[in-house]
Amino acid sequence: MDTTTEQTSPMYCPASRAEELARSLPPEDKEELLVFLLKELIEVNNGGRGLIPISTETEQLGYYVPPLAADEIYKARGPKLTPDREAEIAERLTRLHEAIPVEQAIRELKQQEIALRKEMARQQLM
């Protein structure tokens, strides 16, 4: 007969002990621990196919949105783009190195506007 209970199991770790362990770790190890725990949380919550509520006994902290769930939410509720628009976006992403700062784009557009206004005024005088 197995007399192991949750509290006597070698895997049992009371919340206070888990907190103590987490607080004792350096920041880089805390990040590694969080990633490990998120992977475990995803696994025990249907493989991450839905939102995972994060809460304590007294407060709701929010939801973790695993990548699979985010993808499903986007497919269900995200904007529906035409194949042409999808292709255009994919093509633009291959040319990110050609992007210019927004300040430069605004400056160039203002210069073009001034030139167009001058041309329109010149044509109206004729």
In this structure, is residue 28 part of a structural domain?
yes
pLDDT digits (tens, 9 = 90+) for 43-52: 888 888 888 8
Question: In the structure, how many helices (H) and strands (E) does the chain have?
Answer: 5, 2
pLDDT at 74: 86
The alpha carbon torsion through 96, 98, 99, 103 (nearest 10 deg) reads 160
In this structure, is residue 37 part of a structural domain?
yes
Residue 25 has a CB neighbour count (10 Å cut-off) of 12
pLDDT at 14: 66
In this structure, is residue 117 part of a structural domain?
no
In this structure, is residue 53 part of a structural domain?
yes
Based on the structure, what is the number of domains in the chain?
Answer: 1
In this structure, is residue 105 part of a structural domain?
no
Q: Strand, helix or coil at 61?
A: strand
Residue 116's alpha-carbon distances to 33, 87, 102, 125, in angstroms, are 60, 32, 21, 14
Cite the beta strand spans of the chain per DSSP E: 52-55, 60-64
Q: What residues of the chain score a pLDDT lower than 70?
A: 1-14
In this structure, is residue 112 part of a structural domain?
no
In this structure, is residue 9 part of a structural domain?
no
pLDDT digits (tens, 9 = 90+) for 54-76: 888 888 888 888 888 888 888 88
Which residue segment(s) compose the domain that 46 sits in?
Answer: 15-78
In this structure, is residue 26 part of a structural domain?
yes
Question: Positive or negative, the Cα torsion across 21, 24, 28, 34?
Answer: positive
